[in-house]
Amino acid sequence: MTQAFTLSRQVEFNHCDPAGIVFYPRYFEMISSTVERFFADAIGHSWQDMLVNDMGTPTGSIDVRFRAPSRLGDWIDITLTVSRIGTSSAVLQFECTSAGETRFTGSITIVHANTTTAKSAPWPDAIRQKMAAYLSPPNT
């Protein structure tokens, strides 16, 4: 059975535009936070751990479909699964919901890369194995 990783957070004033809804670039920050927490909490290999070895997971691409606004004070859940693990990249699917309503969906391709040389590098076996527990079919 596929596992999913969920990060819950409340929409804060600093996330919102003057209309009191989340300003869309803030969602990208929230997606990044979810990926960071996924590696630290679910995989057990934080970005800090990677940086010690001059490694990181820069974004290769991101695709987001906004479906409904989130407002100041809303509690949102961003749920992440893995749809593909390549040699040195992975595609992560995400869905943001609040009170049962989908706020946005999408995918992000991350690349396991050396931060000094800016070259991709194969996923370490330990990380690959832990990520595999979150594999699911891609969203359609």
Residue 5 has pLDDT above 60, yes or no: yes
Q: What is the pLDDT of residue 2?
A: 74
What does the pLDDT average to over 125-136? 95
31, 5 contact by CB (below 8 A): no
94, 85 contact by CB (below 8 A): no
Tokens describing residue 62 = 């991101």
List CB contacts of 35: < 8 A, sequence separation 6 or more: 57, 80, 92, 108, 110
What does the pLDDT average to over 16-45? 96
| 40-91 residue pLDDT tens | 999 999 999 998 889 999 999 999 999 999 999 999 999 999 999 999 999 9
Question: pTM of the entire structure?
Answer: 0.92
Q: What is the pLDDT of residue 30?
A: 97
Which domains are seen in the chain, by residue range?
5-132 (3.10.129.10)
In whole angstroms, how large is the CA radius of gyration of the chain?
A: 15
